[in-house]
């Protein structure tokens, strides 16, 4: 769906390219997370896809079309874009914010109204309660969800997300991340997602692309990057606790055995193994029971991380 080949961005006066001959493929329906140290070129790379930044050289293809030969305004109308600051228009209602691109595309009002309600339902916000509110009346997490809805309004095949949840407090960030993953399972958009947070990258990405000095160091599914880092830089970046991070990629039910332990704390079967282990350690127990049946013992976690 998205192919970057030999992509270069050299800013005037900079000693080296911000993006340096980058080759990257993002498959249709995949969430590809760009991550790396500050100044590694991840945001510059993402913003070249919709030509908010023009490339110096190289090619960018979206669905087989070279975007450098397309009208940039038309290109951007076909690509959803979500940023950390959300960028909702404060003087416009939630409905009017979501309808921005459909109105630019000339949709009739009946189709626009139907799409607004569909999207509010999709992000778990009741249309009757939210369509006539203003951004100032919403929480940060709600505004971010509206930002996602607005990006999806014209049903673009590609979604660009630049640190979209970075300004939300940790509890609501986790909830909004979960909401987005639920939506993505339904819609299967092709997503380029920029973050500086390795835990977020592991949670959100089907594939992680780690950049350094504008170059691709390793591109792999999260489990592979954690299990087999390409070099010392990758190993240091993902952290010394990468065995524990791998537990966030599986659920407790995948470790469960039949039976139960009297007095052990209970968690839902779809709790991540990492969260399940945390519950066990906090309680001082050596096992957790799963709602609906099954038990995970401390040695089961060790077997998976070892």
136-153: per-residue pLDDT in tens? 999 888 888 898 999 999
Instruction: Please tell me the predicted confidence (pLDDT) of residue 240.
Output: 78
Instruction: Please tell me the predicted confidence (pLDDT) of residue 36.
Output: 95
**Share of residues in the chain with pLDDT > 90 (%):** 72
What is the length of the chain?
A: 306
Instruction: Tell me the whole-structure pTM to 2 decimals.
Output: 0.85
pLDDT (mean) for 107-127: 93
pLDDT (mean) for 87-94: 91
Name which of 17-21, 83-87, 125-129 the model is least confident about. Answer: 83-87
pLDDT tens readout for residues 150-186: 999 999 999 999 988 877 788 778 888 888 898 899 8
Going by their DSSP bridges, the two strands 79-83 and 287-290 should be labelled as unpaired
Name which of 100-104, 214-218, 241-245 the model is least confident about. Answer: 241-245
Report residue 295's pLDDT band, with 50, 70 and 90 as the boundaries: very high
Q: How many CB atoms lie within 10 A of CB 40?
A: 22
pLDDT tens readout for residues 12-22: 999 999 999 99
Report residue 34's pLDDT band, with 50, 70 and 90 as the boundaries: very high
Q: How far apart are CA 75 and CA 81, in angstroms?
A: 12
Asked if the model's pLDDT at residue 10 lies above 70, the reply is yes
Q: Which of 110, 111, 104, 138 is nearest to 124 (CA)?
A: 138
- For the ranges 175-179, 257-261, 302-306, the one whose mean pLDDT is highest: 257-261
**Share of residues in the chain with pLDDT > 70 (%):** 98
Instruction: Please tell me the predicted confidence (pLDDT) of residue 244.
Output: 82
Report residue 305's pLDDT band, with 50, 70 and 90 as the boundaries: low
Q: How far apart are CA 231 and CA 74, in angstroms?
A: 41
Rg (CA), the chain: 21
Instruction: Please tell me the predicted confidence (pLDDT) of residue 86.
Output: 65
> What average pLDDT does the chain have?
91
Instruction: Please tell me the predicted confidence (pLDDT) of residue 3.
Output: 96
In sequence order, the β-bridge partners of residue 192 are 32, 160
Asked if the model's pLDDT at residue 306 lies above 60, the reply is no
What string of H, E and C letters represents the secondary structure of the chain? CEEEEEEEECCCCCCCCCEEEEEEEECCCCEEEEECCCCCCHHHHHHHHCCCCCCCEEEEEECCEEHHHCCHHHHHHCEEEEECCCCCCCCCCHHHHHCHHHHHCCCCHHHHHHHHHHHHHHCCCCHHHHCCCCHHHCCHHHHHHHHHHHHHCCCCCEEEEECCCCCCCHHHHHHHHHHHHHHHHHHCCEEEEECCCHHHHHHHCCEEEEEECCEEEEEECHHHHHHCCCCHHHHHHHCCCHHHHHHCCCEHHHHCECCCCCCCCEECCCCEHHHHHHHHHHHCCCEEEECCCCEEEHHHHHHHHC
Distance of CA 75 to the CA centre of its chain: 22
Instruction: Please tell me the predicted confidence (pLDDT) of residue 15.
Output: 93
Surface-to-core class of residue 25, CB atoms within 10 Å of its CB (0-12 exposed, 13-18 middle, 19+ buried)? middle
């Amino acid at each position: 769906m998205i192919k970057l080949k030999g992509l270069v961005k050299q800013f005037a006066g900079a000693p080296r390219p911000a993006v340096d001959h980058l080759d990257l493929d993002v498959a249709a329906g995949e969430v590809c997370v760009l991550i790396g140290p500050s100044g590694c070129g991840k945001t510059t790379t993402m913003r070249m896809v919709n030509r908010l930044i023009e490339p110096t050289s190289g090619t960018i293809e979206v669905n087989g079309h070279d975007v450098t030969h397309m009208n940039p305004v038309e290109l951007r109308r076909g690509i959803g874009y979500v940023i950390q600051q959300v960028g909702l228009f404060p003087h416009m209602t939630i409905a009017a914010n979501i309808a921005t691109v459909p109105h630019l595309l000339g949709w009739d009002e009946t189709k626009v109204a139907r799409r607004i309600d569909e999207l509010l339902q999709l992000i778990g916000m009741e249309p009757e309660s939210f369509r006539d509110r203003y951004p100032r009346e919403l929480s940060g997490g709600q505004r971010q969800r509206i930002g996602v809805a607005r990006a999806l309004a014209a049903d673009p095949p590609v979604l660009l997300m630049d640190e979209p949840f970075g300004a939300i407090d940790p509890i609501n960030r986790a909830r909004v991340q979960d909401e987005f993953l639920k939506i993505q399972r339904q819609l299967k958009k092709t997503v380029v997602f920029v973050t500086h947070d390795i835990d977020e990258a592991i949670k959100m990405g089907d594939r992680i692309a780690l950049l350094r000095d504008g170059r691709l160091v390793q591109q792999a599914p999260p489990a592979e990057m954690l299990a087999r880092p390409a070099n010392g830089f990758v190993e240091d970046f993902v952290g010394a606790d990468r065995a524990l991070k791998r537990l966030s990629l599986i659920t407790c039910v995948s470790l469960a055995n039949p039976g139960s332990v009297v007095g052990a704390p209970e968690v839902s079967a779809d709790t991540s193994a990492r969260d399940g282990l945390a519950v066990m350690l906090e309680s001082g127990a050596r096992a957790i029971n799963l709602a609906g049946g099954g038990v995970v013992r401390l040695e089961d976690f060790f077997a998976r991380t070892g």
